[in-house]
Amino acid sequence: MLKVMVLFVFVCLSTSCEHIQKLTSDKTADGIDKKELPKWTVSLTQVIKYPRANLGEKEVPSYRGESVWVRKHFEINSKLIELITAIPSKENDKFDLKLKLDKHGSMIAMRLCNESSQPPWGLLVEGIYYGKTSISKATQKEDDYSEILFECGLDKVTSNMIVKYSAANYEHFHKNDK
C-alpha cells in the first residue's frame, strides 16, 4: 500500500511540475512566442437580449462578474483597427475610443453607422464584456468612415492599455500581408 501511495505522489508531483513549467514558459502549446501575441484586443459585437443558445451566439464573461450573451461573429475587431485614440467622455474620468479603420473596416463602419435601427452593441476587451457602446462617425466628411467613435465610457487605465497596443495588434494581424 505504501508503494502505491509513493507512486501516486510521484506521478502527481511530476505532472504538476510539468504543468507549472508550461504556464511559466514563454511559448504556447503550439510553439508560438507569447511575446508576439496581440494584447488588449478589442471587438464590437451585438448583444443578444433573448439568447436562444444557437450556433451564432455565445456567452462571454463580464468584468463585473456576470455573463452576457453576444453574437459569435464580431462586426469590428483589432484586425481592422489601425490605431486607437482615447477621447475624454461626457462622463467624468471616463474615456471613449476613436478608431482609425483600414479600408475593410471603413466599409463595415459605413454599414453600421447607416443602419436605421442599431442593435445594442457591446465592447469586448480580450473577449471580456466591458459594457454597451454606441457607434458614430468621427469625421465630418460625408463619405469618410475611416474614423469612428465608440462611446463606451472606459476607465483611464483600460483605455490607455488599449491605445498602447492598438498599432502593434494591427501589425500582428497583417504581418504576412506584405
Q: What is the CATH number of the domain that holds 54?
A: 3.30.1360.200
Q: Are 73 and 56 in contact (CB under 8 A)?
A: yes
In a domain, residue 152? The reply is yes
> For residue 4, what pLDDT is reported?
60
Tens-digit pLDDT profile for residues 23-50: 455 666 656 666 778 899 999 999 998 8
- Grid look-up 491605445 returns 163
> For residue 66, what pLDDT is reported?
92
Query: Which pTM does this prediction carry?
Result: 0.77
In a domain, residue 20? The reply is no
In a domain, residue 139? The reply is yes
Q: Does the structure show a pLDDT above 70 at 142?
A: yes
Q: 12-16, 126-130, 150-154 — which is least confidently predicted?
A: 12-16
Average pLDDT over residues 130-149: 86
Indicate the pLDDT class of residue 169, thresholds 50, 70 and 90: very high
Q: Does the structure show a pLDDT above 80 at 122?
A: yes
Q: Are 56 and 148 in contact (CB under 8 A)?
A: no
The candidate with the shortest Cα–Cα distance to 72, out of 59, 88, 87, 91, is 59
Distance of alpha carbon 93 from the chain centroid: 22
Task: Determine the Cα–Cα distance for residues 77 and 79; give it in Å rounded to an integer.
Answer: 5
In a domain, residue 86? The reply is yes
Sheet order of strands, 128-137 included: 76-77, 42-46, 121-125, 128-137, 147-154, 95-101, 81-88
Exposed e or buried b per residue across 28-51, where buried means at least 16 C-beta atoms within 10 angstroms of its C-beta: eeeeeeeeeebbbbbbbbbbbeee
- DSSP 8-class letter at 117: S
Indicate the pLDDT class of residue 67, thresholds 50, 70 and 90: very high
Identify which has the larger pLDDT, 159 or 15.
Answer: 159
Q: Does the structure show a pLDDT above 70 at 19?
A: no
Neighbouring-strand partners of residue 70: 47, 58
In a domain, residue 19? The reply is no
Q: Which domain holds residue 93?
A: 41-173
In a domain, residue 16? The reply is no
Using alpha carbons, list the distances in angstroms from residue 156 to 86, 94, 96, 115, 134: 9, 6, 10, 30, 19
The count of domains in the chain is 1
The counts of H helices and E strands in the chain are 3, 9
In a domain, residue 22? The reply is no
In a domain, residue 13? The reply is no
Average pLDDT over residues 105-123: 86
Other Cβ atoms closer than 10 A to 163: 17
